Amino acid sequence: IVKEITTRQAEILRYIKTYAKKQGYLPTYDSIGEYFGFRKSAAAKHVKALMRKGYIEQGRYGHKIKIKTKEKV
């Protein structure tokens, strides 16, 4: 079951999907934070919220993320 997300979380998820499509790989916390103007730690908190809600999962080595759902945001 996928839970509802906030507007900011939807923006971040959209950014992750767009970044992956353009770059061919998923963004790091650093690149997410840089894009939205906040620190890596804040980016990590947003990503972890998306993980808890079932939208993405942690990558194999812990520094990248993986889109888990194909649902539109």
Average pLDDT over residues 28-56: 93
Report whether pLDDT(69) > 70. no
34-66 CB burial, b ≥16 within 10 A, e <16 = eeeeeeeeebbebbebbeebebbeeeeeeeebe
The answer to whether 47 and 31 are in contact (CB under 8 A) is: no
Report phi then psi at 10, rounded to 5. -65, -40
Per-residue model confidence (pLDDT) at position 50 = 93
Residue 30, pLDDT > 90, answer: yes
**pTM strictly above 0.85:** no
What's the CA gap between 23 and 19, in Å, rounded? 6
Q: How confident is the model at residue 24 (pLDDT cuts 50, 70, 90)?
A: confident
